Amino acid sequence: MINITSDLKMNRIGLGCMGMSEFYGSSNDNDSLKVMARAVELGVNCFDTADLYGDGHNEKLIGKFLKQSKIKPAVATKCGIVRHKEILPDGNFKRTYNGTTKYITDSCEASLKRLGIECIDLFYLHRPDPNTPIEESVEALAKLKAQGKIKAIGLSEVSADDLVRAQGVHPIDCLQSEYSLWSREVEASILPFCQQNNITFVAFSPLGRGLTKPSIKLETTDFRTNIPRFSAHNMSANRPLFSLIDTIGKQYGASGAQVCLAWLLNQAPNLMAIPGTRHIKYLEQNVLAQNISLTDEELKCLDLAFASEKIQGEKYLVSTSAA
């Protein structure tokens, strides 16, 4: 359990809900609600979403769950990415960024309405706005916190410089960024800064968007079909890495995905992960990963094997950015 604020605690494995609305192929609301129900039974007490996901659908889906569930998880949502109807050559919609006071304030009210709640537990700026000083965005979030509209302030995918400037305006409670064996850029400066300043680090895509086995069948509507790292050539080239996590997993009766999560949770005590899934089977495996204690030798082996220069394939197309 991690103390986000004095009155907000979260378990180290949360539930990323994005895929229940889009990006990862077809989904079913009733099945998603069952996954949410099982999640809270297992002690998962943070659901991660954003106004972007499904153009509001994801927040409404969580709102529906909150209305019917006796157990109420904390809700983390985000604002700051503006969705446009224009579709880019890679199949993704065009997006721009808005971190102005008015936009953040209006977005908070809209999210509260879709979620059907009076206070958002954790509210992130989804991406920094290049045309708005990060100081203005953080001041807007701080005002919402003072008004009781949100409990905790978060930033997502900001630079180390932006994080330092933001922290100078108001203490940041959570920093969310991509982090997994496959993507370790945050280790250089972001993760250490979070540890030094009591900021909870929230890892999204902690399984590298599902890179846990050398063969994945993707629907045509799955955005990963356009990601170089998921090409047949690169999946084959990375086969030794899949073999390694599988071999280590067998020592614990665990899956490769559980090994990846166990490694991640070992990187910092103030770190939590939000793996997404639409399947109860994988949800249960993700939660159980907290019980795996890898040896120092295994951790070192994974560190060396997954050095960035040894991984084949870029994690994004140039025009694609993480959600």
Rounded distance between C-alpha atoms, residue 283 and residue 131, angstroms:
39
Displacement of CA 50 from its chain's centroid (Å): 10
Report the alpha-carbon angle 206-36-205, nearest 5. 10
Q: State the residue for tokens 């659901």.
A: 47
Of the CA atoms within 13 Å of residue 131, those in its CB half-sphere come to 8
Indicate the pairing of strand 200-204 with strand 271-273: parallel
Helix-, strand-, coil-residue percentages of the chain, each rounded to 5:
45, 20, 35
SS3 call for 290? helix
Is 316 among the residues known to form the active site?
Answer: no
Q: State the residue for tokens 């922290």.
A: 167
Tokens of 50: 């954003």
Q: For residue 311, give the amino acid letter.
A: I
Contacts of 166 (CB under 8 A, 6+ apart): 134, 135, 137, 138, 155, 158, 172
Q: Which H or E run includes 66?
A: helix 57-68
Which position among 24, 53, 103, 282 bears the catalytic label? 53
| CA diameter of the chain | 53
Residues involved in catalysis: 53
